[in-house]
A and B are shown apart, each in its own frame.
Chain A
Amino acid sequence: MKVRDIIKILDAKVLLEGDLDAEVVTACGSDMMSDVLAFVKDQSVLLTGLMNPQVVRTAEMMDMRCIIFVRGKEVDPSVVQLADQKGITVLQTRYRMFTACGLLYSNGLRGGCEGA
């Protein structure tokens, strides 16, 4: 699917528009950036309930296409700003982690980690 499809599936609010036509096949849901850095293989989508600048930094280092902040958490504009000019789309969804991951999985996204 494309990043723009995620917006529809998760009824998400777009906080920063990156490359909406970027093709994504895998995703990872985690609040531990350590694990994301260690286990995620592909350019993919990051779903997280964590809200600090290191979420964006982690996505940036891993060439991720899209960050999704789950459960409608207020996102600090300075955090979003860090993703600017890097092609990363930043979304916010009211769904909780489990539901957001489930919705994306049932629409075709797969696990992007070692051992899936």
Chain B
Amino acid sequence: MSMLSLKYVVPGDDFTRAGEASSDVKHKLKQLGYDSKAIRRVAIAMYEGEINMVIHAGGGEAFVEISPEEVEIQLVDHGPGIPDVEKAMQAGYSTAPDNVRSLGFGAGMGLPNIKKYTDELKIDTEVGKGTTLTMKVFAGH
């Protein structure tokens, strides 16, 4: 049973707005009185994914389903896709250009960090079509 379904458009042309969706989800989970450890895990994982959509894929959409047991986040973009997911999952692997590094990102730590903070992670990606990240965080873990 879902307590709350949320949908966000993540604009791809405005780096300053990246993270708005994650911030709103964090706020709503707090209002619901959700377990604070789970909130932190959701916030970090979703934020990493949101930043990735903005810097690598020209933005996208975020769908969030909150139930008492778990939070499911789906991040959908129509960017370039990830040619080698196994490589992308390695800590330190990044194709981010220098300008992204000067903004404080591009260390190749995002996807491994998402893996670390979520209980389930699925990456569906096709080169030239886009990427969908589906992640779950269980409450009380």
Contacts and interface: CB of A to CB of B under 8 A. Distances in A.
Interface in B90-124: 91, 101, 103-110, 112-113
Which range holds the interface residue count of chain B? Answer: 20 to 34
B23 interface: yes
Contacts, number: 69
Given A52-B16, A62-B40, A62-B44, A34 B106 contact: yes
Nearest to A36: B104
B18 interface: yes
Interface string B34-48: 001000100110011
Interface in B63-107: 91, 101, 103-107
Interface of A is mostly: helix
B118 to A, nearest CB: 14
Interface of B: 15-19, 22-23, 26, 36, 40, 43-44, 47-48, 51, 91, 101, 103-110, 112-113
Given A34-B105, A50-B103, 12 more contacts: A32-B105, A33-B105, A37-B110, A37-B113, A38-B113, A52-B15, A54-B103, A60-B43, A61-B19, A61-B22, A62-B43, A62-B44
